[in-house]
Structure 1
Amino acid sequence: MQVRQQETVVPASSPPPRAISLPEWLRTAADLVAALGTEFDADRERLIGLQERLRAERCHLAVLGQFKRGKSTLINALLGAPVLPSAIVPLTSIPTFLHGGDGLTARVVFENDKPDARFAGADAEALGEFLRQFVTEEANPRNRLGVEQVEVTCPAAVLQQGLVLIDTPGIGSTFRHNTEATLNFLPQCDAAIFVVSADPPITEVEVEFLKLVRGKLARLFFVLNKADYLDPDERRTAVAFLQRVLHEQAGFADVPPIFCVSARQGLAARQKTDAAAWEQSGMNDVEQRIVEFLLTEKTDVLQRALARQAADLLADVSHRLELTRRSLQLPLADLDARIQQFADRLVEIEEQRIVLLARLARDEERLAEAVAQRAAPLLPKCLHFLQRVVQESQERDNAHWTEESARAALADAIPSFFEREFGAAHQACDAELRVALQPHRRRAEELIATVQRIVSQLFDLRCDAAPKEIALTTADRPYWRTHRWVFAGSASIPPSWIDRLLPQRLRHARIRHRLTEYVEYLATRNVGDLRSSITDNLHASIQTFRDRLTAAIEQTIQTTRTAIETARRRRTEDSASVAPELARLEAALADLQTLRQHLAPLPQ
């Protein structure tokens, strides 16, 4: 490793003698670490990465509601422009993610690697017409275009603050399995707004949906839209009724506040820049008491986490500087003896690392087997469900029952059933995975702490470096996940001409026989696909954790070696430079200590 030629220079970017904000604090820390030498480049990159995380952090707010409740109009009001098509016709099964950006753009992502469709322009209505081609049932019935999701950027002020609005297909939409896909998606979001309206305030379908949603979100807000159609007494009655239903039927222990709005009036007010009308529409309360609260809350949590990580990183840098300084002060023979002792102890560390990875591999096999065991009872459950679908279709159509109508009923039922089962299986597997990885995480962190203690003991240093934490998962942006469940065989079996000549009883018996084989194929294939998908996710998660664990251990060992070897090389190559180098290290340590004291207090 090379050291930049600054042996007699105190780093130029000394921290200012005042409390500074976290972004400025991180920039100053990165500058200080950059001045230390190329062996600290990785630390500088990590500090820059923390700055990027702070800048890129987003608060994901899903908007839920039944058809014709005014979800899209509510979002358009927050944006201040008619970006989303209004639901005069039902929307199809596609979520729309709205991000902040310099202009109006849209990207339509398709399944099966089909090239994206894109829009860029300045006209919000033109963007709305572009989106209408893909997200409405009228233009894209049953999502025949194979759209996976839509991403929109908009220069709206509310999005520039870091909010991502997500217009979900919600409930009561064309495809029943959208409800299951929505339920699987919501835990990835920070919060959701559930939109109801005065006609009627809430339906049985919505109540059943809310029973399922209640435990999946940290925060759920309620908006009563179209409140402009009600007089003050009617509005109070509607709010009281809605709160009572949420408490008594949907199971909300605390009566949630209800925001009464007219999204239509709010959009008009924003387009006219009429602050008084915006306030009167009720949308100002939604923007300030929901959106701004969420952004502030999430930013505070993130800042505390990043400040802790940065402080731990600087403590580690200071520890290595102390190690280099101590190595420069030792007689050369003494230094060589301690280096050899450190190498000997690393043999033990490597043996423990191998044992740790072997235990992790055994747990991986056990978890994969648990997935298989969990999928086993799903096959008879699926068979029973699909057989019941066939039976109900026959009872419904009676004499007019055909194989085609039964297959259509199966095609309609399968996505909803398997999205629900996939969500439950994925949630159970994720919970088991976190529990299983915790002991491995602790052992790895103990192994890293052991390396730090060995160094401190060998070189007479304080062992005050913060313990390294190894993350179990990486928090990525939420993504909408649906699957192409199989609901058709490799080839449709046309009904035999003989069927048309047979009496109804015999004809139906032949159809039931063919459908029995068909149902067995569908159940076996989809259960197998579900098991394979969960298992693949499991292996990918464990591999990510394994890589992170190995990298953390190797990084601790390598940076320690570098600190010692840098000092030894300087001792042997140019003994005259030792005194200036010691002075530089003293100054750097003082600067780092001062910086750690000047971070402005963060919200608790």
Structure 2
Amino acid sequence: MAPVGEILARAKSSIRHPGGAMALLLQKLDDLQARLDEGLLRVAALGQFKRGKSTLLNALLGAPLLPMGVTPVTALPTFIRAGDRTRVRVVLDDEHKSVVQGEGDEVAEIIDLFSSEARNPHNRRRVASVSLDVPSDLLAQGVMLIDTPGVGSTHRHNTTAAEAALAQCDAAIFVLSADPPITEVEVDYLEKIRRLIPRVLFVLNKADLLDRGEQAAAMQFLDSVLKQRAIAAPDGVFPLSARLGLRARLDGDARALEQSGMARLEKALTGDLARGKRAILDVTLRARAIDLLADMRFQAELEYRALLTPDAELRRKAEIFEASVRSFEEERRRLTDFLALDRKRLLRELESETDRVWGEARKEAARLIGEIDQTNVETREARDRIAQALARHFEAALGESVRLVRERMQAAALEHRKRAGALIELARKTAADLLEIAAPPPPNEDVLKLRREPYWSAPEPSLSIIDASASALSRLLPAALRQKRARERLIADTERAALRNVANLDWSLRQNIGDSLRDFERALGERLGGALDSTREALKMAIEKRAARGAAIESAAAEAKGVVEALSGLSQELRAAPLEGAPLC
């Protein structure tokens, strides 16, 4: 069995005179070869927001370098590899491609400034990438760790980078936690990543919040859900506390590290996973090479068959295809119209949903303030109690709204995906039928998915210079009047916080709907354009070669036939290889 790298090299060398369509495919082949040459096993920390992914990676690194918090914190993926010292490099997406770098004590501050949601909301600083070098025994074994935003919590610019990173990952640490052990959103996400990533380690974080019986019940529940969905966990589940593990690493306490559960995870990462790095890379890249070589073979067959077609028939087929192109473009325009109608409908439904959430939030705020004793209205405890209660209310409310919007978007996506897939398949099949070859099925791509998750924003007391002066004077007022004013301020601050969260919900989901539909339309145009251009190019090239006649046609046809045969043989080699050494999730 030939190594993947050798097969990729042979595939490239078989194509001596690539046209534009084949050149694009060869660029993808070069990208695969670069991944193989790099030799790094890319391991992403994946999961829903607030599960503790960044804390887990900090515990593995032994330092609090990545931003942590109780609200969605990570806004951008951070790529972490071995280095001789700790340093960070941030590349900005501006006209100069500016770079911000730092070392030592500056690192955590720079990462927080550029990659956290709190200090770089919606990626206003226009960060293109964040990379971190850290001295680490784990990373020195050829492992790259990737800190990712939570499921659905990225923004449009960042989602592209996050999904590109996911598509290039070879393994993952899927981080769950005890509150609850696994949700339907996470199960759906797992269904997606297991098609892309051959090896997944499952972590049950925050296990220190559970007693022994509760931990056993959580593990049993998680195991049953994974089995029901036929999601394998060959390494089992790692119950641990990343928070306690980080503290143990900082204190140099080996016993506490063992008790936290982190030592067992580290052993798995530095043991079987690191040792099996080459096998896992082989499985990942072999699967991607199979799909790529199928597309390359289809393009080569288009060119070969076109060269064998007599001149008059070739021109007739070119005219038939161009007539078909006009009908394909018309159908694409109809699909775009359907998308516009769905966008309007989804936005109307969102408006009704946010109105409902706002009404319930005001009722909840009034109820909470009504429960506060008059004499306690001025205390910090009163504000903290309201903030905590509203946080719980909005966490449930935002989760329910996201679920409703996700369901409606998925229902719309199903119809649009069917129409788009049928159109692209028809375009490829039309080309294949004209030239009497078999067309590979179009790739399956996820569309209309949530890009952002709304998050809770706590109430903050408004305080200006005037407020401060008034506050000092208010201490001279009678107690009843002072308490009345304090209650009014508390009501105003609470309603502002509620309105801020409803606005956050509306903005996040409104952007989700718009971004997802635009991305779908763009992807449809690119995929349909690619399918049409590859056939146009094959027909045009054959017509030009036929104009030269004689030996030029025979030479080009012989070369094209050799490419088809070479790619067919290489595809068979790839498919025949056993997938051993890297258990699939």
Would you call these one fold, judging by a TM-score over 0.5?
A: yes
Bigger mean CA deviation after superposition, 375-384 or 486-495: 486-495
Cα distance change, pair 564–594 in 1 and its aligned pair in 2 (3 A): same
Cα distance change, pair 390–34 in 1 and its aligned pair in 2 (3 A): farther
Tell me what 1:434 maps to.
410
Counting matched residue pairs gives 510
SS of aligned partner of 1:377 = helix
SS of aligned partner of 2:416 = helix
Question: How high is the sequence identity, in percent, across the aligned residues?
Answer: 22
Give the distance between the partners of 1:216 and 1:285, measured in 2 at CA: 24
Tell me what 2:348 maps to.
369
Tell me what 1:22 maps to.
4
Tell me what 1:401 maps to.
377
Tell me what 1:9 maps to.
none
CA RMSD across the alignment:
5.5
Cα distance change, pair 446–523 in 1 and its aligned pair in 2 (3 A): same
Report the CA distance between 1:445 and its aligned residue.
Answer: 2.0
Report the CA distance between 1:155 and its aligned residue.
Answer: 4.1
Query: Do the aligned residues in 2 keep the contact of 1:488 with 1:522 (CA within 8 Å)?
Result: no
Report the CA distance between 1:572 and its aligned residue.
Answer: 1.2
Give the distance between the partners of 1:299 and 1:372, measured in 2 at CA: 51
Q: Which runs of 5+ in 1 are unaligned?
A: 1-18, 121-126, 170-184, 195-205, 227-240, 273-277
Cα distance change, pair 387–546 in 1 and its aligned pair in 2 (3 A): same
Deviations 1:503-545 (A, max 9, x none): 5445444544454455444433431232012211221122112
Alignment TM-score, normalising by the size of structure 1? 0.66
Deviations 1:128-182 (A, max 9, x none): x55687999xxx9xx9x9588996422424235435275999xxxxxxxxxxxxx
Report the CA distance between 1:92 and its aligned residue.
Answer: 8.9
Give the distance between the partners of 2:376 and 2:5, measured in 1 at CA: 70
SS of aligned partner of 1:119 = strand
Tell me what 1:244 maps to.
213
Deviations 1:288-342 (A, max 9, x none): 4366566799998886675455434433333333333333333322222222122
* 1:27-176 pair list within 5 angstroms: 27-33=9-15, 35-51=17-33, 58-61=42-45, 78-79=60-61, 82-84=62-64, 99-107=80-88, 118-120=101-103, 127=104, 146=119, 152-159=132-139, 161-164=142-145
Bigger mean CA deviation after superposition, 413-422 or 323-332: 413-422
Tell me what 1:286 maps to.
265
Give the distance between the partners of 2:70 and 2:263, measured in 1 at CA: 30
Give the distance between the partners of 2:330 and 2:148, measured in 1 at CA: 52
Tell me what 2:434 maps to.
458
1:548 paired with 2:528, answer no
Report the CA distance between 1:22 and its aligned residue.
Answer: 3.0
Give the distance between the partners of 1:190 and 1:544, measured in 2 at CA: 26
Give the distance between the partners of 2:495 and 2:260, measured in 1 at CA: 55
Tell me what 2:513 maps to.
538
Deviations 1:58-114 (A, max 9, x none): 3223799x9xx9x97x968855xx54489xxx98986696711333334498xxx9x
Paired letter, 2:327: E
1:468 paired with 2:436, answer no
Deviations 1:200-251 (A, max 9, x none): xxxxxx96x345779747664358999xxxxxxxxxxxxxx95422234787
Cα distance change, pair 427–288 in 1 and its aligned pair in 2 (3 A): farther
Deviations 1:410-453 (A, max 9, x none): 56766665466445544543443234223222222221222233
Cα distance change, pair 492–541 in 1 and its aligned pair in 2 (3 A): farther
Tell me what 1:327 maps to.
306
1:350 paired with 2:329, answer yes
Query: Do the aligned residues in 1 keep the contact of 2:46 with 2:174 (CA within 8 Å)?
Result: yes
Give the distance between the partners of 2:524 and 2:508, measured in 1 at CA: 24
Query: Do the aligned residues in 1 keep the contact of 2:298 with 2:440 (CA within 8 Å)?
Result: no
Asked which structure has the greater CA Rg, the reply is 1
SS of aligned partner of 1:58 = strand
Tell me what 1:198 maps to.
none
Query: Do the aligned residues in 2 keep the contact of 1:410 with 1:487 (CA within 8 Å)?
Result: no
Report the CA distance between 1:560 and its aligned residue.
Answer: 0.1
Report the CA distance between 1:347 and its aligned residue.
Answer: 2.2
Cα distance change, pair 585–411 in 1 and its aligned pair in 2 (3 A): same
Q: Which runs of 5+ in 2 are unaligned?
A: 124-129, 151-161, 191-200, 225-235
Paired letter, 2:145: V
